[in-house]
Structure 1
Amino acid sequence: MNHLTSVEIYIWNYLEENKAKIIQMTVAQIAESAHVSPSSIIRTLKKKNFSGFSEYKNMEKQKLNRNDWIYGLTKDANQVVSENIEELLMTVRLLESENLAKVVENIFHAASVVIISRGLSVRIADSFARDLQFLDVKAVSLYQDNMQAYLENLPRNTFVIGLSLSGETDLIVATAKKAKRDGKKF
């Protein structure tokens, strides 16, 4: 095995200590985060017997998916949890920290939380609503065609969260606009 330089040791330790984050990033993003060059990361991985970053990243993803890291859950249950965590991490990365803090504050100060969604976002909305319920937040996931009528009967202190993979789902956008007009926080 080739000996690692001090910079390469730093890079290897950085990769190993940030595995959950690393598998969601590009080599350029990691380089920026670790304050090193992408070529230094590739060189380090090659010295550690990887063909490149893709092989390392794929191996770490497989380890994460195989690992029953929540004791007592089946492999399938852990896979679902892993997928939800991955989706949540991708979503959180898109949010600015100030906006995220406002969302969390609104959730915990609202009389109730309604998460509206359609299609592939429904599973995420259901999971999010259940997670909020475990935190004693009155939350419900709503994906029926009549969601606008449902929201009309809720108090003004209802916080509405819209989930849409594209951000352009007609019913979600129309419901969000109506909720805002009706004085709901969105």
Structure 2
Amino acid sequence: MFNLDMIHSFTETERVLYDYIMQHKDTVYYMRVRDLAEAAHVSPASVIRLMKKGGYESFAEFKLEIRNQHKQVEQQAVFDTKEIVDEFFNRTLSNDYNKQLDKAVEMIHTAGLVIFLGIGTSGILAEYGSRQFFNLGQRTFFVKDPFYPLGHSREDFTDSVAIILSVSGETEQILEQTEILIERGSKIISITNTSGNTLAKHSDVNLAYHLTPETINKTVNITSQVPVAYLVETLARKNYAKRQNRI
């Protein structure tokens, strides 16, 4: 649909629109240009420009491809793990992405404390990430309770960086905790599936993995977390190497 070079060339508006389309493939097919523009909070002209950038003659042609892709996904129970890995490593990782990783590592390296935050599956990975960092000598703790009373603490997080995990980047409790951390002085690194979401916009560094979303029964989100585990381990190992003066 859109290759990696196209995605990297998107304007902020185009990225927001692209992220909306990726998250709502099952309903975009039934929309008109104006419907999609209103849903994604962009102008109809922005929709048309994105279609042209993707090489489509019309919005109808684009929707036909969306429908065909959606049918293929429906016929497949879940994506094969190899497909997931290929999609992430071949489409997402690039030199520009490595620059973002290096920027995140520099923030972690200069921080006295690393806070991991996530809910549900992301909470499990937050605990895993915190353990990886601790095993490599980094002072850290994790929060996977959406109602953990960060706001009741008087602790100053100026010397901290928070690594926040969220597939959608729109979970209300995560955004509330993020706001508290920012108010207390913490830097924010977010790992999300898209880059146009609210959490990404409030982060100092956002690492988005851009996988095709997967759901079962239209309600249970099973979008793979393989890229998240890779990113968390990469940050931990790069930070350790930097602490050992190897990079």
What is the TM-score with the length of structure 1 in the denominator?
0.48
Specify which structure has the higher proportion of strand. Answer: 2
Higher relative contact order (Cα pairs below 8 Å, separated by 6+ residues)? 2
Structure with greater Cα Rg: 1
Specify which structure has the higher proportion of helix. Answer: 1
